[in-house]
Chain A
Amino acid sequence: MKPLAHVGKALAHDSAALHVSGAAVYIDDIAEIEGTLHVAPGFAKEGAKGKILSINLAAAQAAEGVVAVLTAQDIPGKNDCSPVAGDDPIFANGKIEFHGQVIFAVVAKTRDAARRAARLAVIEIEKQKPDVTVADALASNGDLLPPYAFTSKGVVAALKNSTHRHAGQLKIGGQEQFYLEGQVAYAIPQEKGGMFVHSSTQHPTEIQHCVAAMLGIDDAQVICQCRRMGGAFGGKESQAAQWAAIAALAAHITGHPVKCRLDRDDDMMLTGKRHDFEATYEVGLDKSLRIAAVDVLLAARCGYSADLSAAICDRTMFHADNAYFYPQYKIATRRLKTNTISNTAFRGFGGPQGMVFAEAMMESIAIQHGCDALELRKKNLYTKQRNTTPYGQKIDEHLVGKIMATLEKTSSYQKRRKDNAKFNAKSSILKKGLALTPVKFGISFTNTMMNQAGALVHVYGDGSVHLNHGGTEMGQGLYQKVAQVVAEVFGIGVDKITITATRTDKVPNTSPTAASSGSDLNGMAARNAAMAIKARMAEVAGRQHGVHPSKVTFWDGQVSAKTKSSSFAALATACKGARVSLSATGYYSTPAIHWDRATGRGHPFFYFAYGASCSEVLVDTLTGEMKVSRVDILHDVGHSLNPAIDIGQIEGGFVQGMGWVTTEELVFDAEGRLRTHAPSTYKIPCASDVPEDFRVALYESKGNKADTIYRSKAVGEPPLMLPISVWCAVMNAIASLKPGTVPKLDAPATPEAIMRAVKSLGVK
């Protein structure tokens, strides 16, 4: 077999040269059309829950530069921007359910004028006591969605008959996406009542549909385009819709182009985040410390509406085993309604919360029994015999044990554990901790319908190629990866391929770029489109040279048959001359997956992505200060489509997840107001928080067992869960203060949380 010319090469991101020059155009950088207006959302200053008693917009209306003030009554169609359940009003009507819920919007000549005027509204709310925390919601019995569980028949008996039993609780914090480019949309009215919307969205099809329904027009009259996002991380899957809808409504009513770009503080208050959870569990073990049964309740703060919480909490359940076999289990979830912003997608989509529970449980068992946590983890991994997940899918690829064994050696885990024990014995205040944890992450949307993608490829008469597909570019390098795939198919340079913005009139009915599925789905769809054109081109070449089309090869810009060859460009010209179509759509749907939620059984994932990381921390048990001193990562991406991009995903995912489990804390007050709504109060990792000693390697894979695009594996979300080892290492360090006692450490392990955990041990 010929080696690959483009796939697998560490080529630069398609926009790299633009990014370093400040020339990449994000939506707010698009040259504004003459007459462009700006719209800003408005909300009640006080109150998180209650009837809207009065709305006085006179002062806003009268403010300088204001063109219009919009409320629910101005919406000609449907007042909804929800992804699933129809329960997210664009403008609140009659009542509000969280602090900051949008009630109106101000359209003005400048963004500044719109924002200033929005603050002049006087809104009176009949305030009720909000449910803010998981505990509040549990006390109110406030299930937003029905509870759901995977339960095996023998779980109660197995727990009862276990040699060892261990119970625990864990608070798991939420997380703000903190994409550097905030939410933004720019709507431009079209002929016959149509609308063109630039939206920074992972889901252009949903924007199209939401805007059309809001205006009461056909989907076909709305086009949504997204060339690139300045980060998204799940926060622009459903959360981009409201701002696109408000911009489109303002454009519809004023007849002008209208831009809606949120201020950072508004963005953080008005858009959803990762779900917080509280886990309460009991685990039974046999005498060799193999898990016999796990009974866990994972209670989620969903916020005021359903959004994507059903699928997110399901994914929490799918990952509550991480890489471990639970012979008997009850994995239960409550999906709780709170008077807070509706929580939403964020890299990992509920999976990280399930996984951090599993690893906290492992770490706690190891501390309680005084054994090495890595030994305990290895003992409980899925094996060829013990291979059935709590949802009935059998694990048929057992890589994680190999990855952990390799990492154990390359990170000198055993030696460092011994060194740390010596250090901790001598050091009374500074304590070192070390942990090595695995990641097993299921790849596919668990809603089987969503596992489909489309692409549109044209070859022009000069041999240049236009590439379009339904996937969106948020920095993850999807456009570049798919371009490498198409270059490979045609045997031409990537420089001959022009990547074009994702838009709903080129590829319709797309799924969001989410669930790590971008290159798996769109890579295949684009390949299918390119293959269709290539087959037609091979026919023409075959006729020219008197050979069967299967004997025609495409390589290095040349098309060859027997001894004859011509350039790809010459063949393209010849095809046009021969009246052969050089345009094709491509389509792909993931095979072999199915899921029956009613019975809780099926094969929801096409395959799993695996990895492991080993992290060392130094904890000051007097102040709670913590430093990550070294990280080793080994991660499986199958046959990488682009190792530079994949390693970037791993490093970036790790640091983002490290923020989630260490410094990023969302604080809501008792009134339901988010008090951490800017980078001044919400701490994401910066360059000096990341260890200098950061060793990242790709697992030497024989290729994905599943038939994916060039046998690669998805890499978007799985690395986010690698830094659970950082949290476990903090546990390990704190536990050295009082061996045998499990510290009560929550996630994130902020200095305050570390201090509470130290205190919980009752040592001086």
Chain B
Amino acid sequence: MGVHVRSTVNGDAVEFTCPEDEVLLDVLRNRLGLTGAKEGCGTGDCGACSVILDGRLVCSCLVLGAEMDGKVVETIEGMADGAKLHPLQQHFIDGAALQCGVCTPGFLMAADALLRKNPDPTEEEIRFGLAGNLCRCTGYDKIVRAVQAAAKEMRG
């Protein structure tokens, strides 16, 4: 059994039969080979599996694969425009805003979702906007600075 799912992932059409209890994170990682989203906790508390579903930031470990039917999914793998990195990606590199890297895709997704809603956030809005994403390595300061720098560049 399963649910017939038609969806768009990073601009590509996908179609498959999804077991009812399979979560979006496992669909992305195991069916589509998109391993950028990570399982940090499996309970929606760490943000390492963050993706954007129809414009909304979600923990993909808490969303059923069946729920992506008819919806648009964006993951870290689709963030760059070909070889050209998104300003957030570039500022994360330039600002040394990463260490072990496991949380990085989730932070980039969360920051992207935040800046789409609020292109000129205050520092407090950035910190609270990213509070659902845990990083154990960096101490967050460089992440916040990178998001500020990218936001500034994107506002032009």
Contacts and interface: CB of A to CB of B under 8 A. Distances in A.
Interface of A: 10, 12-13, 15-26, 28-29, 31, 177-182, 228-231, 233, 263-264, 474-477, 644-645, 647-648, 651-656, 678-680, 684-688, 690, 692, 694, 696
B77 interface: yes
B141 A679 contact: no
Given A180-B100, A648-B139, A680-B45, 4 more contacts: A20-B93, A21-B76, A181-B40, A230-B101
Given A180-B40, A679-B46, A652 B139 contact: yes
A21 B77 contact: yes
Contacts of B39: 28
B137 A652 contact: yes
B3 interface: no
B137 A231 contact: yes
Contact of B36 (A22, A263, A476, A684): A22
Interface residues of B, number: 56
B60 interface: no
B45 A654 contact: no
B121 interface: no
Main SS at interface, chain A: loop
Contacts of B29: 29
B45 A690 contact: no
B99 A180 contact: no
Contact of B98 (A19, A25, A179, A680): A19
Given A231-B137, A651-B142, A679-B41, A17 B93 contact: yes
A37 B142 CA distance: 40
A706 to B, nearest CB: 26
A230 B127 CA distance: 23
A170 B58 CA distance: 42
Taking each of B90, B100, B102, which has the highest tally of chain A beta carbons within 10 Å of its own beta carbon? B100
A655 B45 CA distance: 19
Contacts of B79: 20-21
Contacts of B135: 180, 687
User: B interface, by DSSP: helix, strand, loop or mixed?
Assistant: loop
A222 B45 CA distance: 37
A179 B93 contact: no
B116 interface: no
A18 B140 contact: no
Interface string B98-133: 111111110010000000000000011011101111
A231 B102 contact: yes
A27 B76 CA distance: 18
Contact of B127 (A10, A22, A24, A688): A688
B137 to A, nearest CB: 5
Contacts of A475: 98-101, 137
B77 to A, nearest CB: 5
Nearest to B40: A180
Nearest to A19: B101
Interface in B72-112: 75-77, 79-80, 85, 89-90, 92-94, 96, 98-105, 108
Question: Among B45, B99, B105, which residue has the most Cβ atoms of chain A within 10 A?
Answer: B99
B116 to A, nearest CB: 18
Nearest to A267: B41
Given A178-B136, A180-B40, A687-B131, A648 B142 contact: yes
Given A264-B40, A687-B144, A15 B101 contact: yes
Instruction: Please indicate which of the listed interface residues A12, A25, A228 has the most CB atoms of chain B within 10 Å of its own CB.
Output: A12
A651 B145 CA distance: 13
Nearest to B21: A112
Contact of A678 (B41, B104, B105, B142): B41
B136 A228 contact: no
B141 A26 contact: no
Contact of A20 (B85, B99, B133): B85
A651 B38 contact: no
Given A648-B142, A687-B143, A678 B45 contact: yes
A692 B134 CA distance: 17
B96 A10 contact: yes
Contacts of B131: 686-688
A475 B103 CA distance: 11
A694 B101 contact: no
B7 interface: no
A656 B141 CA distance: 13
Contacts of A654: 139
B46 A180 contact: yes
Interface in B29-87: 29, 33-43, 45-46, 48, 75-77, 79-80, 85
